[in-house]
Amino acid sequence: MGVSGSKRPKAHLPSSRVSHSLQDEELICAVCKGILWQPVRCGNCQRSFCDQCLQTRISKKEPCGNTSLPCVAQNCPETITEKLSQLRIPCRYKQYGCPSCARYSRYDQLLKHEENCAYELITCSVCMAKVLKLNSDEHNQKCPLAIITCDECCAYYTRQDASLHTAAVCCQTLATNKIVVKYINVCVGSLITQKTDVIVVNALSCGMLESVLAAGGNSVRDSYTTESESSSAESVLSVVADGQLASKKIYFVEWRPGSNSTVLRRSIRKLFSETITEAVNEGYQSISFPAIGCGGFGCSPALMAEIFVTEVCHQLAAHPISILFVIESTEENIYKELQTQIGVIKNARMKIVSTEVGSGTIEVENGEIAQQKMDVITVSASSSILTKAIIQAAGDEFYTFATKNRSPNPPEKPHWFRRWIEKLHYKPQLIIKAGLRLFPYLMAILFNLSQYFYYGDDFLNCLTREADSRDPDKYFTRLTQASQIFHTILATL
Ligand SMILES: [Zn+2]
Ligand SMILES: [Zn+2]
Ligand SMILES: [Zn+2]
Ligand SMILES: [Zn+2]
Ligand SMILES: [Zn+2]
Ligand SMILES: [Zn+2]
């Protein structure tokens, strides 16, 4: 029984999974040579196949036996299904699993077990690590590359960088967002009539692509076709607008939703980053986006609005450009959600707790934006950008407060000796070292003093007599002789 076709497909159930003593030629698929899986029989050649294997044969129009006709799928005879149901097969993930997973499942229950087996090795879509299915929840809780969004300032960062998002950074982001969110606007209407310099069109959203191409007329359609065929590597296709289109340029992008919110956020970030950078590089001042993902793709409006506003804020922090979200009249939900998100950032207000600008600290507390109160943030006043951002974020009330409190005359410098002593105060090891070094001298001085107090003038006289008895000339003569002897020794060596 030969089967045409050069490459044998991979068997769903390779015969090696079942002990050889139990195998029967009847139970082997004619295509993949594995154990029959969901078996079917060809009504003409009477051979048995896996359902999938026969479907592939039929779709490839491979002939049945010596005829030129394709095989005809029929139910498999009961004798074969009976034999199959007696097979006992271990789970395909037994190599990763606990001993009980190596138990033999019945043929009929194998699929159900493998679908639910906790020992399947799956790949984390974010960090590409291989994790057991039963550990996947645990992994998601600590995946180092998972994106975390700050509840306070909506900034995102990977879990491994979470420690870099300090309270000061959070406060700064909040302030920056509050400044740049003024460049974001939302309107109900159509991209076609928007007078912004650039409109962005998702080429994978068929309805939108078609309506823009129709409005643009032949010149837009032609240049879109040539562009999309020639520069396939470019992710943003830039086409000059024409016809009824009110904008100057159209950027065609290809965007599809991600499998989870992390991938979704990444894809939106990439889209905004590429289009906004391109627009800024081309010298444009304004750009319109549709409510990407909220039409046919069916993404959650609340999530998309949050991602749109956060990501656009991040782009605006680097590129000054006016951004307009154009919402179709049927997409009321996303319109409301975008307004809410913008409002959240615009109304974020920092409540001042205390300030000491002169000595270098400002303490602010973040109010209103979140229900829970954040810890007090201490910000160095030497960081002028940060201070400016916080002052802007906190409003005029704080600005006057901060400037009023900045003392006109800096405090006088203390005396140098005082500063020196203060410095020493912070260096206990230095003091200990100096103490040990000076100890022998102190002992000698104390010894002589004690002698003086005990013997009085006798001690001094004794010292004088001893000094008088010495003959310096004799001493130096001896010393010269000694050095001569030393030189002689060195010379002989
Ligand atoms: Zn097969
Ligand atoms: Zn056949
Ligand atoms: Zn197990
Ligand atoms: Zn299993
Ligand atoms: Zn991961
Ligand atoms: Zn934050």
Q: Tell how far the Cα of 41 is from the centroid of ligand 1, in angstroms.
A: 11
pLDDT tens-digit map of 333-357: 889 999 998 888 877 755 333 334 4
Length, in residues, of the chain: 493
pLDDT of residue 412: 59
The DSSP code sequence of 193-211 is G--SSEEEEETTSHHHHHH
Q: How far apart are CA 312 and CA 289, in angstroms?
A: 11
| pLDDT over 90 percentage in the chain | 18
- 8 A C-beta contact, residue 362 and residue 345: no
| pLDDT over 70 percentage in the chain | 82
Has residue 371 got a pLDDT over 80? no
pLDDT of residue 232: 63
Q: Tell how far the Cα of 124 is from the centroid of ligand 5, in angstroms.
A: 5
User: Between β-strands 361-366 and 350-356, what pairing exists: parallel, antiparallel or unpaired?
Assistant: antiparallel
**Ligand with smallest separation from the Cα of 263:** 5
pLDDT of residue 413: 66
- 8 A C-beta contact, residue 105 and residue 116: no
The average pLDDT across 258-265 equals 80
State the chain's maximal CA–CA distance in angstroms. Answer: 138
**Ligand with smallest separation from the Cα of 36:** 1
Q: Tell how far the Cα of 97 is from the centroid of ligand 3, in angstroms.
A: 5
Is the pLDDT higher at 231 or at 34? 34
Q: Which residues pair with 362 in a beta bridge?
A: 355, 379
CB half-sphere exposure, 292, CA atoms < 13 A:
28
Is the pLDDT higher at 410 or at 187? 187
Q: Tell how far the Cα of 138 is from the centroid of ligand 3, in angstroms.
A: 18
Q: Tell me the torsion sign for CA atoms 336, 337, 339, 340.
A: positive
Most confident of 164-173, 247-256, 385-394: 247-256
**Ligand with smallest separation from the Cα of 125:** 5
Is the pLDDT higher at 367 or at 285? 285
- pLDDT interval class at 379 (50, 70, 90): very low
Angle, helices 301-318 vs 332-346, to 10°: value is 50
> In this structure, what token pair is assigned to residue 151?
């509840």
- pLDDT interval class at 361 (50, 70, 90): very low
Q: How far apart are CA 158 and CA 137, in angstroms?
A: 17
Residue type, 8: R
Angle at 168 between CA 164 and CA 172, to 5 degrees: 105
Q: What is the CATH number of domain 163-346?
A: 3.40.220.10
Q: Tell how far the Cα of 45 is from the centroid of ligand 1, in angstroms.
A: 16
Q: How far apart are CA 367 and CA 386, in angstroms?
A: 18
Q: Tell how far the Cα of 12 is from the centroid of ligand 1, in angstroms.
A: 7
Spell out the residues 6+ positions from residue 60 whose beta carbon is closer than 8 angstroms to its own: 5
pLDDT of residue 358: 42
The average pLDDT across 55-72 equals 84
Q: Tell me the torsion sign for CA atoms 404, 405, 409, 410.
A: negative
The average pLDDT across 241-253 equals 89
pLDDT of residue 4: 45
Stretch among 251-260, 306-315, 323-332, 415-424 having the lowest mean pLDDT: 415-424
Q: Which residues pair with 41 in a beta bridge?
A: 48, 74
Q: How many CB atoms lie within 10 A of CB 126?
A: 19
Q: Which residues pair with 184 in a beta bridge?
A: 323
Is the pLDDT higher at 51 or at 354? 51
Three-state DSSP class for 421?
helix
- pLDDT interval class at 435 (50, 70, 90): confident
> In this structure, what token pair is assigned to residue 390?
């916080």
- pLDDT interval class at 418 (50, 70, 90): confident
The average pLDDT across 296-323 equals 86
pLDDT of residue 197: 92
Q: Tell how far the Cα of 108 is from the centroid of ligand 4, in angstroms.
A: 14
Q: Tell how far the Cα of 252 is from the centroid of ligand 2, in angstroms.
A: 49
Has residue 428 got a pLDDT over 60? yes
pLDDT tens-digit map of 465-488: 888 888 878 888 888 888 888 888
- 8 A C-beta contact, residue 198 and residue 248: yes
Q: How far apart are CA 222 and CA 213, in angstroms?
A: 9
Q: How many CB atoms lie within 10 A of CB 145?
A: 14
153 backbone dihedrals φ, ψ, rounded to 5°: -115, 0
DSSP E strand boundaries for 225-299: 236-240, 249-253, 286-290
**Ligand with smallest separation from the Cα of 13:** 1
Q: What is the CATH number of domain 15-86?
A: 3.30.40.10
Residue ranges per domain, the chain?
Answer: 15-86, 163-346, 350-405, 419-492
The average pLDDT across 328-337 equals 88
Stretch among 172-176, 236-240, 244-248, 353-357 having the lowest mean pLDDT: 353-357
Q: Tell how far the Cα of 135 is from the centroid of ligand 3, in angstroms.
A: 13
Q: How far apart are CA 422 and CA 260, in angstroms?
A: 58
The average pLDDT across 281-300 equals 87
Residue type, 148: I
- 8 A C-beta contact, residue 205 and residue 194: no
The average pLDDT across 100-114 equals 82
Stretch among 64-73, 132-141, 203-212, 269-278 having the lowest mean pLDDT: 64-73
